[in-house]
Structure 1
Amino acid sequence: MTAELAVAYHECRQLAAVHGRTYFLATRLLSAERRPAVHALYAFARTVDDIVDHADAIELANTPDPAATAYHVQDCAELLDRIEKQLRSRLEGNPLPDQIGEQRHRVLLAVADTIERYDIAHQHFWTFMDAMRMDIVGTPQHRNRYATMDELREYMRGSAAAIGLQLLPILGTVVPVAEAEPAAAALGEAFQLTNFLRDIAEDLDRGRVYLPADELAAFGVDHDLLVHCHRRGHTDQRVRRALAHLIAINRDIYRAADRGIDLLEPRVRPAIRTASTLYAGILDQIEHSDYAVFRGRAVVPRRRRLRVAAVEFGTAALRGPR
């Protein structure tokens, strides 16, 4: 590995450590040679997500000049296009240009190396980028409401399932990769839906609802009621029932995903079980708070995170090397 590439992977590790605590803890259970690649995938997704968040901030600033706001939001969309174009070019064997900033340059360098090293299908990255464009106002793909679970799953196919499919070749499988892909995609979906349930208030602030309207309507919940609850910091009983229903759906997705963990190489299973258990634990915290998603963000306590990781690590150590 060149010195430049080593620096690039170190940058990705730092991004994962600072911004993805649960994710980073789970990667500590992976073998040392796999960790940099997983950090690179995280850093790439985080870099793109930060651009989308920046577009949100511009949109929500309510500047006096709407044309100027639209112009700067378009800058964010064009930056996504540029990043995808440069990653495609790099994967075709061309050097990366320097016009995207030092940190982004290093992240692209590391993720391109990871893609080539583990022979990850390029399409998973383009599918992810398309989903991210759906979050930027003014793009042809833009969506901020989802009528059905099928519509939401189409978004999650790029924003979450694609991440699971990117990870699969790095983790390794004991069966042909295609056999393990449905469970890997399901785990990405499960994580994403948990985020949506936890972050309802934050998403409302951004003008988005990532919960299917028809599932909410079955319990008498609509956008106006969610906004009302957010303003009051109180969860209406109808919203509680809807959240309980969606948490049950979310747990079904985790169960489908967890069945696929045994298809992974034995050495990586503790890390993925840890990540799955900890993320599913956010649903427990939502329930324990009596669905107080408008008062604060549900977080798995640090003590529990460390205990789950220790149990998985200890169990793996008792089984011995494989």
Structure 2
Amino acid sequence: MEAETGQVVTARSGSNLAATFFCLPRETRRAMATFYGFCRVVDDVADSPSLSLAQKQEGIAFWRAEIARAYQGGSRSPLGKELAAVVRRYGVDREALEEIVNGVEMDLRQSRYRNFAELAVYCRRVASAVGFVSIEIFGCRRPESRHYAEDLGMAFQLTNILRDVQKDAAVGRVYLPEDELSEFGLGVDDILHQRWSQGMHDLCLFQYLRAKHYFARSLRWIHPEDRRRLVASEAMRSVYEAILEKIRKADFRVFSEAGHLGKLERFGRLVAGLLGFYRHQSPPWNPPRQVVVLGAGFAGMAAAVEATLSGDRVTLREARAEVGGRAGSFLEAKSGEKLDTGQHLLMGCYHQTLRLVSRLGAERKLLWIDPLRIPFRSAAGASVLEAWPLPSPWHLLGAFLRYREISWKDRWAAIRLVGALVLQREPLLEETAEEWLRRKKQSRGIVRALWEPLCLAACNQDLSRASARMLATVIRRALLGSRKDSALVFCRGNLGELLASECERLLRFCGGALACRSPVSRLLFAAERLEAIETSGGERWEVDQVVSALPWNVLRALLPEGSKLQTICRSIGEEPILNLYLWTDRPLTQEIVVGFLDSPVHWLFSREKILGRAAARGHAYAAVISAAQEWKALSRGAVADRVMEEIRRRLPQAAEARLLHSFLYRAHGGTPSLSPAECGLRPEERTEWGNFWLAGDWTNTGLPATIEGAVQSGISAVRRMYWTVREKKGAAPVVEKRTLEEARW
């Protein structure tokens, strides 16, 4: 190949990169054809099946010498002479060309990578260095474009590695890092022998997410002054993102042709990428940031994931030893079991939460009850609120018809209320749930059997104090959506472990970190920004952008005295929840969950049914008492006695049950108080400090204080950060975009 020109080699290659050159000016196109021809020839030397190792090394040495001659004069090959002309005209960095050769040479002596740090060196040499030369030929002058080339090269090469797992394994090469293989219970032999497993799926998922991080990161490095010069590389982006998404849609079956695009498909992606590039105006300047998220509850984890997949490097700081916050887990010493900080329940209408779980590959940790089925017990006996397995709204009709706790008058009242919500007749802002239901002429039967349990479960307040707007939102989302929206969803394990390892892994894979046992003792504000945070250990951290996902009753102690946000935090009350964990000598119920009507105890959950395993001792249950102000002064023993008395009264088969052990978890600030007045106090994501943002179920999400509200708030805080334009003193304006999808060229 030494006798061929770059134009000939490039024309013959049919590669993704070469296909984008047609959109470049003539001289730039010729220069890129020469450069690509050089890259292709060098790569072919290393990959040639007909050359011996000595011949390959000789060929690599020749091209390394040709690079030197391109800068010193005396190139020997036609391609070398073309390359010398390109070097002179465009001022190409010699180190970048040499790094490309170094990267290709790595394939001769290295077929395994111990960790991502080693792999990153390879990726930067064989891909990012190509970008460094390309942006010089394109005429880019902004220093940020070098960061763009580095991150886009990383994204391209990570995509190549996923696409070519099978092909590389056939020649004995494994690019996936060995320590990451081990983390998922895999070894090099699993790749070489093409063994498919759940671990392989999960490994590839996180390689995919890492590539998405680099794609997003590179996009945000594009400076408006250089944007038009990057048309070819942005067209190439559209092709490689299509490859990556095709791998995902194939469920990461990388031992197949999952990620390969046909010529027509590739051409279509190129055309779509170019049309999008020229159709849309340049987005505002938005470089990646160092983001600190305070608090690793569901709001904090959602914010950290959103920021990471939008290209930021994120540090998630948590005061406790484990993540989860008010929906976390802990070890109970006497039983030796891990318990949740309250038995939580998700629903199918928790769209943002379920999307987050799916995004991180944790769906198999969930237990679905679809269609909706909730057994209730009252003085009248047993009844079941059970939806039909039909599409909406017929599933709800079945639930109303078969629920024996309500009469036909009650059913008609419920239909009227549902009709009002369908017609967008919202409650008044100042109305309590009780006032709204009375105004809507809801019968006592439907209130006690449906609206009151729903209000207590979702709002953690009784009808006389809860916001009518919050209850209406719950009804609309849980009952008026699809059949799946009304489904009950449980975590099959401890809730604190639902996303813990996945979130930590994503941050680590993308250059961030999760720091537990790292409580913040001070927030140091100066003028209109947060300058630094201090930990209880005396460490001081300068900050760029900060998202606080701390509860309102924790955050208020860290804010400047008299600040607007501190005043809000002090004005929001708190609602307690009691969770009594029970171990009995015999089963209390065969149901996963039972609701109690006309009872001070509201819900009983079978932990054995949820976890799918027997308890270490006896039979394990969790009783939940919402809006538990009247229980706050009772001792654990008194609470256990009252709860067991109520269970025996409501469940005949529990009449002879003996309590072996109990543990009371008091969540004094289980949720914020969201009365109509307090709903009006809920703050937005943006604060009075330019780089300090709020997340948490207590912020103005439009939802009750649920896990879904927490997750939504974390995502919204990061997106609001990206919407907001700030003029920083001594710096260029910072504008961050809405979502990655909305910012595609």
TM-based fold match above 0.5: yes
Deviation at 1:108, TM superposition (A): 1.5
Q: Which residue of 1 aligns with 2:63?
A: 83
**Partners of 2:70 and 2:114 in 1: CA distance:** 38
1:120 is paired with a residue whose SS is: coil
- Which amino acid in the other structure matches residue 11 of structure 2? A
> For 1:213 and 1:223, how far apart are their aligned partners in 2?
7
1:202 equivalent in structure 2: 167
Pair 1:312–1:291, CA change in 2 (3 A): closer
**What's the counterpart of residue 118 of structure 2?**
151
Give the one of 107, 117, 125 matched to 2:79: 107
Matched, 1:134 2:106: yes
Alignment match, 1:92? 72
Q: Distance in 2 between matches of 1:199 and 1:317?
A: 32
Residues 200-223 of structure 1: CA distance to partner in whole angstroms, max 9, x if unpaired? Answer: 111112221111112222211211
Distance 1:318 1:131, change over 3 A: closer
Task: Tell me which residue corresponds to 2:251.
Answer: 290
Q: 1:45 to 1:255 in 2, by over 3 A?
A: same
Task: Measure, in 2, the Cα distance between the counterparts of 1:273 and 1:219.
Answer: 34
How many residue pairs were aligned? 279
Q: Is the 8 A contact 1:15 1:43 kept in 2?
A: yes
State which structure, 1 or 2, has the greater radius of gyration over its C-alpha atoms: 2
Shift of 1:279: 0.7
Residue 243 of structure 1, aligned match among 204, 220, 233: 204
Query: Hey, what does 1:168 align to over in structure 2?
Result: 135
Q: 1:88 to 1:156 in 2, by over 3 A?
A: same
| 1:127/1:174 CA distance change after superposition, 3 Å | closer
AA aligned opposite 1:15: V
- Please give the per-residue CA displacement for 1:25-67, whole angstroms capped at 9, x wherever unaligned: 222222222111111111111101111012x555xxxxxxxxx
Q: Tell me if structure 1 keeps the 8 A contact 2:184–2:200.
A: yes
Structure ranking higher on relative contact order (CA contacts 8 Å, 6+ apart): 1
CA distance in 1, matches of 2:138, 2:260: 26
Pair 1:89–1:270, CA change in 2 (3 A): closer
Whether 1:30 and 2:24 are equivalent positions in the alignment is yes
Distance between the aligned counterparts of 2:166 and 2:65, measured in 1? 34
Rounded to whole Å, the distance in 2 between the matches of 1:246 and 1:319 is: 30
Are residues 1:278 and 2:239 paired? yes
Residues 288/267 of structure 1: CA separation in 2 closer, same or farther (3 Å cut): same
- Out of 90, 93, 113, the position equivalent to 1:118 is 90
CA deviation profile, 1:280-304 (whole Å, cap 9, x unmatched): 2111111222222212262234444
Q: Is the 8 A contact 1:194 1:282 kept in 2?
A: yes
Provide the secondary structure at the position in 2 that maps to 1:146: coil
Once residues 144 and 305 of structure 1 are traced to their aligned partners in structure 2, the CA distance between those partners, rounded to angstroms, is 29
Name whichever of 39-48 and 252-261 sits farther off. 252-261
Amino-acid identity (%): 25
Q: Which amino acid aligns with 1:32?
A: R
Superimposed CA distance per residue, residues 241-292 of structure 1 (whole angstroms, 9 cap, x where no aligned partner)? 1101101001101111122334563433332221012112111111222222
Is the Cα contact below 8 Å between 1:270 and 1:312 reproduced in 2? no
Change (3 A) 1:303 1:261: farther
User: How far does residue 180 in structure 1 lie from its aligned partner after superposition?
Assistant: 1.7
The structure with the largest helix share of the pair is 1
Cα distance change, pair 312–277 in 1 and its aligned pair in 2 (3 A): closer
CA drift at 1:123: 0.9
CA contact (8 A) 1:262 1:269 kept: no
Q: Which residue of 1 aligns with 2:383?
A: none
Contact persistence 1:271–1:312 (CA under 8 A)? no
C-alpha contact (below 8 Å) 1:164/1:188 kept by paired residues: yes
CA distance in 2, matches of 1:201, 1:217: 19
Maintained 8 Å contact 1:174/1:263: no
1:6-30, CA deviations, whole angstroms, 9 ceiling, x for partnerless residues? x97xx42332233243212222222
SS at 1:168's partner residue? helix
Distance 1:84 1:260 in 2: 31
Cα distance in 2 between the residues matched to 1:193 and 1:179:
21
**Equivalent residue, structure 1, for 2:178:** 213
Note the C-alpha offset of 1:169: 0.8
- Contact residue 16 and residue 39 of structure 1 kept, 8 A: yes
Aligned residue among 28, 40, 50 for 2:34 = 40
Question: What amino acid is the match of 2:134?
Answer: L
Q: Which runs of 5+ in 2 are unaligned?
A: 282-745
- Matches of 1:144 and 1:315 in 2, distance apart? 39
Matched, 1:193 2:158: yes
Q: Point out the more displaced range, 266-275 or 204-213.
A: 266-275
Partner amino acid, structure 2, of 1:272: S
1:126 partner letter: E
User: Higher strand proportion, which one?
Assistant: 2
CA gap of 1:191–1:314, structure 2 versus 1, over 3 A, is closer
- Amino acid in the other structure paired with 1:274: A
Q: Conserved in 1, the CA contact under 8 Å of 2:234 and 2:277?
A: no
Q: Per the alignment, do residues 213 and 313 of structure 1 end up closer, same or farther by CA in structure 2, a change over 3 Å counting?
A: same
1:162 aligned partner, one-letter code: A
* Alpha-carbon distance in structure 2 between the residues aligned to 1:262 and 1:20: 30
| 204-213 or 85-94: bigger deviation | 85-94
Map of 2:364 onto structure 1:
none
Contact preservation (8 Å) 1:34, 1:171:
yes
Distance 1:190 1:315, change over 3 A: closer
Aligned twin of 2:624: none
The superposition leaves residues 121-180 of structure 1 with CA deviations (integer Å, 9 ceiling, x where unpaired) of 1011112212222211xxxxx2211111111011222111111111111112252xx332
Amino acid at match of 2:24: L
* d(CA) in 1 for partners of 2:258, 2:50: 20
CA distance in 2, matches of 1:211, 1:316: 33
| Cα-Cα RMSD | 2.3
Whether the 8 Å contact between 1:16 and 1:43 is mirrored in structure 2 is yes
Picking from 170, 181, 186, the partner of 2:146 is 181
Q: Which amino acid aligns with 2:252?
A: Y
